Chain A
């Protein structure tokens, strides 16, 4: 079937372009004359082809509820345990595919301009495309095992790209941090998969048969599985306690941050939870736990973001905060709202990162917002773009972030989880505060320094413009009943959301509350940063926030240091004093034995004859005795 073949080529296009770039790049060691155009053609052509194919499939499947299945081959077939290398595209897949391929392609375009003068242009695009391929595989996988391959591929590529500038040690450490924390999460994920395999392996491991047979597992085990799978999501989607890699991941080039935060990687955790909705629908306690983790992550990240000075780190924490919203939603059963927030978030977060990247490029790689200022007159276009994205993330109508965030907040309120709701509301206020702090400090607040700006790139501005359209309008895709819509996005996704009734009047009040909270955040930001570049004091909270609540330090003391000691103990004591000592004792024994037995081999034939006759005599004695 042509169409199901197309499914594999969505992955294949980026995968093979990545492979070709790597091959050509290897060949370029022997031949320096390979023009950059070839890499550009491959690096942008792959994602473009993927985008074309996915748009084609999306148009075909937008109206129907059927799903497209493609089986490449049977991967494993051992006595009833059967795993197919198969792909499936259903509504959920289309929802993810739409923005991953689109935003991903735009980021590739942007990255081409951003990385144009880098010597490792080819290496960058090879990994960038592989990143996309892994993400597509993750989205299209028909069983958790295939999903896990994509999951790991995403982790690997993030590691490679975060430590892209590997000449500096800090970047390598950041890459390692991301990789190791993701491995911790993966361990949980893999354990959950193994349990699923033990209980349901014989009945088929694809998502459809898992859904059909999930009721066969008893509830405590189901809770454990759901929890373990969520540990994986904690790592990938940077939630408490495995989030510390995300801010450090800013060590990579800005397009990498945009891709990680908008299209790939961090959304994988949310997607996985939504994909396993049949599992999480049966384990409401775990769902509540997820929602609380999301709430605290959102709040913590928003608090830390208030006092960061690095423009990319602020955005990193804001991503973590927004991911917290998504987990609050999916934890409380609002899968389509969570996914919708992933969707809108992809647009405005990519726009934010790309705008930030553009500013960083213009300012000769300056990232400290305290050293920027009053850039509005100089780069009005980028200012407009950043303003759109900031309004969107702050949740102000009619920008896209408003619709998704409002839907989530309403759901939180309606499900009567008031602690979570109030944390979410507080976070919404903080979000608009710290985002406008960023915007003001970069663009409005007067500053003494008049930085010299490099010329702007047209292509970057075009990509920003395209995304800004998305950041404004995609919210209308899920227009709620209050605005005379029917939530078409949720309807089409057709996920088993938990529905709670909320009267129109209370929805209206909530809407008012949400907007006024966001506006008050903006008001405070203006009152603090309109003229002044100094952060106002927060009394006792000042220092902990500035120091990111000492979480990194805590991890260092609790985990890194003991591990260091333990490994030092193993190296210095167990390895050197026990294992090596034993080996040395053995080898010195051999040496001593050889020292004495050496004398026997004196080269004198007469002695050899003597040994021989002694030997023969021994043999005869033995034969005689026996």
Chain B
């Protein structure tokens, strides 16, 4: 029987890898994969806790998350196609429309 603590460790590791991935990688695909990684880390912890406490509520939630992530995936992929069509680039640094206008450089 594997200890709940190890599930936590793996979950936290996965989550951290996801965060570092989002922050450090510029390719939007990789960033999206990092988001999925974080979602899965959470799922893992939810399922582990559900098993530990013998309560199915958390598992229901995990399945919900998986379903939503699937839906997300389709939307994200559609967005990426549109982004690439418009900008011919998938570099995250290229998209900075929200930036403060530069007037004092």
Collect the chain B residues with CB atoms within 8 Å of residue A609's CB.
19, 22-23
Closest-CB distance, A588 to chain B (whole angstroms): 14
Known A604-B93, A605-B92: A613·B19 in contact at CB below 8 Å: yes
Residue pair B100, A603 in contact (C-beta under 8 Å)? yes
Most buried by B among A598, A606, A610: A606
Closest-CB distance, A626 to chain B (whole angstroms): 22
Collect the chain A residues with CB atoms within 8 Å of residue B22's CB.
606, 609
User: Within B1-28, which residues are at the interface with A (CB < 8 Å)?
Assistant: 19, 22-26
Residue pair A604, B99 in contact (C-beta under 8 Å)? yes
| C-alpha spacing A605/B96, complex, angstroms | 8
| Chain A residue, CB-CB nearest to B102 | A598
Closest-CB distance, B93 to chain A (whole angstroms): 6
User: Within B69-104, which residues are at the interface with A (CB < 8 Å)?
Assistant: 92-93, 95-100, 104
Closest-CB distance, B16 to chain A (whole angstroms): 9
Q: B31 at interface (Cβ–Cβ under 8 A)?
A: yes
Q: A527 at interface (Cβ–Cβ under 8 A)?
A: no
| Chain B residue, CB-CB nearest to A607 | B23
Chain A interface, >50% SS class: helix
Selected contact of A606 from candidates B26, B99, B100, CB within 8 Å: B26
Collect the chain B residues with CB atoms within 8 Å of residue A607's CB.
23
Interface size class of B (residues with CB under 8 A): 10 to 19
Known A609-B23, A610-B23: A602·B100 in contact at CB below 8 Å: yes
Known A606-B92, A609-B19: A601·B100 in contact at CB below 8 Å: yes
| C-alpha spacing A602/B24, complex, angstroms | 16
Closest-CB distance, A546 to chain B (whole angstroms): 68
User: Within A583-604, which residues are at the interface with B (CB < 8 Å)?
Assistant: 595, 598, 601-604
Selected contact of B23 from candidates A595, A601, A602, A606, CB within 8 Å: A606
Collect the chain A residues with CB atoms within 8 Å of residue B23's CB.
606-607, 609-610, 613
| C-alpha spacing A603/B95, complex, angstroms | 8
| C-alpha spacing A606/B32, complex, angstroms | 12
Residue pair A602, B99 in contact (C-beta under 8 Å)? yes
Collect the chain A residues with CB atoms within 8 Å of residue B99's CB.
601-604
Collect the chain B residues with CB atoms within 8 Å of residue A605's CB.
31, 92, 95
| C-alpha spacing A582/B31, complex, angstroms | 48
| C-alpha spacing A605/B26, complex, angstroms | 10
Closest-CB distance, A131 to chain B (whole angstroms): 60
Residue pair A603, B26 in contact (C-beta under 8 Å)? no
Known A609-B19, A613-B23: A598·B92 in contact at CB below 8 Å: no
Residue pair A603, B19 in contact (C-beta under 8 Å)? no
| C-alpha spacing A610/B26, complex, angstroms | 13
| C-alpha spacing A211/B99, complex, angstroms | 79
> When each residue 420-448 of chain A gets 1 if its CB lies under 8 Å from chain B and 0 otherwise, what string results?
00000000000000000000000000000
| Chain A residue, CB-CB nearest to B23 | A610
Residue pair B100, A598 in contact (C-beta under 8 Å)? yes
| C-alpha spacing A607/B25, complex, angstroms | 11
Collect the chain B residues with CB atoms within 8 Å of residue A603's CB.
95-100
| C-alpha spacing A290/B62, complex, angstroms | 99
Closest-CB distance, A505 to chain B (whole angstroms): 100
| C-alpha spacing A609/B98, complex, angstroms | 14
| C-alpha spacing A308/B31, complex, angstroms | 97
Collect the chain A residues with CB atoms within 8 Å of residue B24's CB.
606
User: Within A489-519, which residues are at the interface with B (CB < 8 Å)?
Assistant: none
Collect the chain B residues with CB atoms within 8 Å of residue A606's CB.
22-26, 31, 92-93
| C-alpha spacing A602/B23, complex, angstroms | 14
Collect the chain B residues with CB atoms within 8 Å of residue A595's CB.
104
| Chain B residue, CB-CB nearest to A616 | B19
| C-alpha spacing A609/B24, complex, angstroms | 10
Residue pair B96, A602 in contact (C-beta under 8 Å)? yes
Selected contact of B96 from candidates A598, A604, A610, A613, CB within 8 Å: A604
| C-alpha spacing A605/B92, complex, angstroms | 7
Closest-CB distance, A534 to chain B (whole angstroms): 78
Residue numbers of A with Cβ under 8 A of B are 595, 598, 601-607, 609-610, 613
Which are the 4 A-B pairs with shortest beta-carbon distances?
A603-B99, A603-B96, A603-B98, A601-B100
What are 11 A-B residue pairs whose CB atoms fall within 8 Å in the complex? A601-B99, A602-B99, A603-B95, A604-B93, A604-B96, A605-B31, A605-B92, A606-B24, A606-B92, A609-B19, A613-B23
